[in-house]
Amino acid sequence: MVYCRWGSCAPIRGSRVRTLRFSVDESRSFPVEKGGLPMFPNQSIRSVGITVVLLASCVCGRSLPAQPPVAYKPWPVDATLEAKKRDVFSALERGNFDANRAENEKFFKSYYFARWTDSANESNLYSFRNDFLKTDAGKITGNARNYLLGYALAELGAIAADKAVFPAGRYNAILAIGMLDQKAGESSSSQPTAYPEALSYLVKEHENAENAPFIRLGALLGIVRHAQSGIGDAAQRQAVFALLCRVLDEGKPNEERSADDQEMLDWNRSLAVSGLQSLRMSGRCRIPVGNRPEWGGGCRVAVPCDPGAGGA
């Protein structure tokens, strides 16, 4: 297994780093952390900060044919609105979100989130997302937080859905949706309360087979995070259980697939294992998941589930 870091690939295991060539291709996505570190699926998603997905096919020892350039179109960014940032977030911290709603939403749409759509800001995507989730919105509570979360879900969802936006910006947007929290964890070791309204959106985006693989992957990461946080609604919990079981079933090894495709499906299956374990539900059959070194080692896992029935 390899991971990509700004135009190079390296084995996850082993000390030798091989520089490889890659091509931009929306059909491939390799998630990486800030600094190029791989995101192991068995890590807590809460603790992992992914900078971007490098939409790449990494091939050891051979070059790929040249790909035609893709002309992406960023949203217009009004840099003059940057000066309003402190006032906007200070007002929200005080619970004031109605008085200047139109101006505040212009700030978010035309500057704050619009920056995420510009490929020139690719190296800043992790900072943009982290600043929003942890710093800028961190002290906003009550009705003002509900308002901001709802607005962010709509705006980030629009970015994720916009095929004219460069892929890393879209992926960053759907990652942020999966990381929206209704309430932060009470301590560094406790799980936050994920924003419940985001879950149905994430399920819909993952189930949409017409979405790019990186969008479906970002949605799956968010779904697993919700499972780790705890899903209060029984019907949603059942639906997520069935979805994760389907990920396990549909990604079973198939000799007709390419190695790259199977590798991505294997990684999705390991995410599904994590989510199913967090749900602590059971069904009528057991789908084994083999021991894979690139999942971080550990024992052989068998997750109880029934892809057809969706749980007990």
- Cβ contact 13:293 at 8 Å: yes
Q: Token match 């749900």: residue?
A: 279
How many angstroms separate the Cα of 107 from the Cα of each of 78, 120, 130, 169, 216?
Answer: 8, 20, 18, 18, 29
Sign of CA dihedral 55, 34, 292, 277: negative
Q: End of a domain among 169, 203, 230?
A: 230
Helix (H) or strand (E) holding 106: helix 101-107
The helix or strand, by DSSP H or E, that contains position 158, with its residue range, turns out to be: helix 142-161
Helix (H, G, I), strand (E, B) or coil at 176: helix
Q: What is the pLDDT of residue 33?
A: 37
Residues 17 and 105 in one domain: yes
Q: Strands (DSSP E) along 224-289, which ranges? A: 286-289
Domain closes at, from 210, 230, 250: 230
**Same domain assignment for residues 152 and 299:** no
Same domain, 163 and 243: no
Q: What pairs with residue 134 in β-bridges? A: none
Q: So what's the pLDDT on residue 97?
A: 84
From residue 163, give the alpha-carbon distance in Å to each of 24, 145, 176. Answer: 15, 29, 18
Asked if 22 and 64 count as a contact pair (C-beta separation under 8 A), the reply is yes
* Residues 186 and 299 occupy one common structural domain: no
Same-domain check for residues 303 and 163: no
Residues 235 and 218 in one domain: no
pLDDT of residue 281: 72
- Residues 131, 48, single domain; the answer is yes
What gap in Å lies between CA 51 and CA 117, rounded to an integer? 14
d(Cα 138, Cα 119) in Å, to the nearest integer?
A: 26
Identity of the amino acid at 147? Y
- Per the structure, the count of domains in the chain is 2
249 plus 140 within the same structural domain = no
Which structural domain, as residue segments, surrounds residue 156? 2-230
Of 190, 208, 230, the one marking the end of a domain is 230
Rounded CA separation 76/106 (Å): 12
| Pair (53, 194) in one structural domain | yes
56 and 146 share one domain: yes
What does pLDDT average to over the chain? 75
| 144 and 263 belong to one structural domain | no
pLDDT tens, 82-141?
Answer: 999 999 999 999 998 888 899 999 999 999 999 999 999 999 999 999 999 999 999 999
Q: Are residues 307 and 189 in the same domain?
A: no
DSSP one-letter string for 209-233? TTS-HHHHHHHHHHHHHHHHH----
pTM exceeds cut of 0.85: no
Nearest residue to 41 via CA among 263, 199, 193, 259: 263
Residue with tokens 């979805």: 243
pLDDT tens, residue order, the chain (312 aa): 333 332 223 332 232 332 222 223 333 333 433 333 233 333 333 333 332 333 332 323 334 455 567 789 999 999 999 999 999 999 999 998 888 899 999 999 999 999 999 999 999 999 999 999 999 999 999 999 999 999 999 999 999 999 999 999 999 999 999 999 998 866 666 778 999 999 999 999 999 999 999 999 999 999 999 999 999 999 999 999 999 999 998 888 888 999 888 888 898 999 999 999 998 775 543 444 444 433 333 333 444 454 444 443
Q: What is the C-alpha to C-alpha distance for residues 27 and 12, in angstroms, rounded to an integer?
A: 22
User: First CA to last CA across the chain, in angstroms?
Assistant: 35
Tokens of 211: 């979405």
- State how far the Cα of 147 lies from the Cα of 152, in Å rounded to an integer: 9
